[in-house]
Amino acid sequence: MRRALFIAITSLTRAGVEACVDFLEAIAPKLPEFWLPLPVELCRGRSVDLGPLEGYLEPLLNLYYEVRANWRCYSSAEELKRREMAAVKLGSPSGL
């Protein structure tokens, strides 16, 4: 049986994540599985300290806990923090 892959990409802004969550609430329960950019530690039932990144990911975290679907996580907490720091450095006036 052939499996379809669906990837949703959004900016790491609160508005972008909220728009993505609105979309996922409607379609994710109908799909066999759906991958979220959340730490794999979370999907394994461990607590994760995301620091300031948690504010951006809060809508996805709520979705993960409140909507019944076959959620999968594909990033580590450390990888998410590295990406956040890279985005902050790129967006700063001095750059990297």
The residue extents of the domains of the chain are 14-91
Q: pLDDT-derived band of residue 7, with 50, 70 and 90 as boundaries?
A: low
Q: Each residue of 21-80: pLDDT tens digit?
A: 998 888 888 888 888 888 888 888 888 888 877 888 889 889 988 988 888 888 787 887
pTM of full prediction above 0.85: no
- Position 18 pLDDT exceeds 60: yes
- Position 95 pLDDT exceeds 60: no
CA–CA dist 47, 44 (Å, integer): 9
